[in-house]
Amino acid sequence: MPAVVALVAGAALLSPAPAARAAVSLQRISAFGTNPGALNMYAYQPAGMPARPAVVVALHGCTQSAQVYADNSGLTQFADQYGFLLVFPETTSANNSSQCFNWFEPGDTKRGQGEAASIRQMVAHAASAYGTDPARVYITGLSAGGAMTSVMLAAYPEVFAAGAVIAGIPYACANSVVTAYSCMSPGTDRTPAAWAQGVRDANPGRTGPWPRVAIWHGDSDTKVVPKNAEELRDQWTAVHGLDQSADRTSTIGPNSTRREQYLAADGSVAVEVDRVPSLAHGTPVDPGSGPQQCGATGTAHFIRSICSSHWITGFFGLDASTPPPGGLPAPAGLAATGVTDTTVTLDWNAVGGAASYAVYRDGSRIATPDASPFTDTGLEPGTGHTYALAARDGAGVEGARSADVSATTTGAAARCWTANNYQHVQAGRATTNGGYAYAKGSNQNLGLYNTFVVHTLKESPAGHYVIADGTCP
């Protein structure tokens, strides 16, 4: 791979100076899944971590490591304070010559493939090994890690409740080293609708809910120019069905960082842009012992300014200022009262004082119906799901969650085939055009039409095939 700059091969993150403080103690986890992206996984578990903790995934920048990001970003300080688990994915020089996450490589940025699939497997492992709450999963990252944060929010919107992109780039901006250059500087200008379509194309048919997104960018960043903050805003406001006019503006922190907030219909912050004055390319930190201070500046691209980790923790709803869980009891009597090939109907006993209910499927909130019953639609035949329910008061605050119930849709489960592109075409699962193979039904590009490119295709419904590398049973 040729030597390139910034988020591609690390010239934006120069050789780091020695760390200025003792290293944080991380746990290396060697077995967390099939790991198609060949990443390393590290975890930071605070002392006295509560049951069902939240988890924050933190992605380092080019030439950095999990250890460097843990030592300098300040995130571990807030994990200690508020009791959430931290997961630090780490790439290596075997993946990228300058240890950048491959946010611009198509094989690493799609659902079920490469590095994106490896990070998803880390989240699943955290749930099974540490008992983390699947409804409170968050992600953040710097530079190439920020761009990879965009990837994860688009590829797995049902997994992440929110994300924070620091000096990053919109999803689907680049598909090669060459196009990555243009994304970084001077930036790529697309309409909000076009950016949003890129996210929707990552999950055809999904209508939401979508993760909340905070965007942090320095005004003086010449490596990944501030235009990317504008384009990220355009992308995620459009995904949420919002316009690009801020509903609230304010200043925060010791340096008067300018905050713009874009509100959802219920008044919550769907998208936030934090513009840090005079900040070059890096994670803003503010070393010290104050309640809004964090991080260290002994390593390149951790820049004294504002403790972004403090504000990101608050955006995720993990700080002490977050309202406590509501007082409504857990709904009783939750049961699956009917199933079809594509639907599951749920019924439950009404809770006094409840204005609505939050329905969770496989750990992710999918709907807020006013009353029982509720029918979950658009499921695949022959698939099993786990449901839980919480009552919501008039302000939308959720109470205790019910016990889980399981249900399996009727019909035959989706069928999967793993073969090279030539074999897929010969079997009628794909077509060819211009030397490339395309999955029938979804028309997803499988790559060159030859015997060397291998994919797993899933058929659901009959005659409709989608790429399912690493995810098909």
What is the full per-residue pLDDT of the chain (473 aa) written as tens digits?
Answer: 333 444 655 433 333 333 345 689 999 999 999 999 999 999 999 998 988 899 999 999 999 999 999 999 999 999 999 999 999 999 999 999 999 999 999 999 999 999 999 999 999 999 999 999 998 999 999 999 999 999 999 999 999 999 999 999 999 999 999 999 899 999 999 999 999 999 999 998 888 789 999 999 999 999 999 999 999 999 999 999 999 999 999 999 999 999 999 998 888 899 999 999 999 999 999 999 998 999 999 899 999 999 999 999 999 989 855 444 456 888 999 999 999 988 999 999 999 989 999 998 877 789 999 999 999 998 888 888 889 898 988 877 788 788 888 899 988 777 888 999 999 999 999 999 999 999 999 999 999 999 999 999 988 777 889 998 877 76
With beta carbons less than 8 A apart as the criterion, state whether 170 and 197 touch: no
Q: State residue 22's pLDDT score.
A: 65
Q: Tell me, what's the pLDDT at 262?
A: 94
Fold for 335-408, please state it.
Immunoglobulin-like (2.60.40)
Beta bridge partners of 448: 436
Q: What does the alpha-carbon distance between residue 256 and residue 233 come to, in Å, rounded to a whole number?
A: 20
- Range 6-37 burial, b when 16+ CB lie within 10 A, else e: bbbbbebbeebeebeeeebebeeeeebeebbb
Determine contact, residues 284/308, Cβ cutoff 8 Å. Answer: yes
CB 156 within 8 A of CB 69: no
Pseudo-torsion of CA 103, 90, 23, 159, nearest 10°?
80
Superfamily per CATH, domain 6-315? Alpha/Beta hydrolase fold, catalytic domain (3.40.50.1820)
Catalytic residues: 143
**Common-topology check for domains 6-315 and 335-408:** no
Cα distances (angstroms) measured from residue 339 to each of 84, 99, 370: 36, 47, 21
Task: Tell me what pLDDT residue 10 has.
Answer: 41
Contacts of residue 55, Cβ cutoff 8 Å, sequence gap at least 6: 84, 85, 86, 87, 123, 126, 127, 130, 132, 133, 136, 137, 138
Among 308, 299, 298, 353, CA closest to 331: 353
Q: What whole-number distance in Å separates Cα of residue 364 and Cα of residue 209?
A: 9
DSSP character for 369? -
Quickly count helices (H) and strands (E) in the chain.
10, 26
Tell me if residue 408 falls in helix, strand or coil: strand
The whole-number pLDDT of residue 266 equals: 80
Q: How far apart are CA 460 and CA 234, in angstroms?
A: 33
Q: Where are the domains of the chain?
A: 6-315, 335-408, 415-467
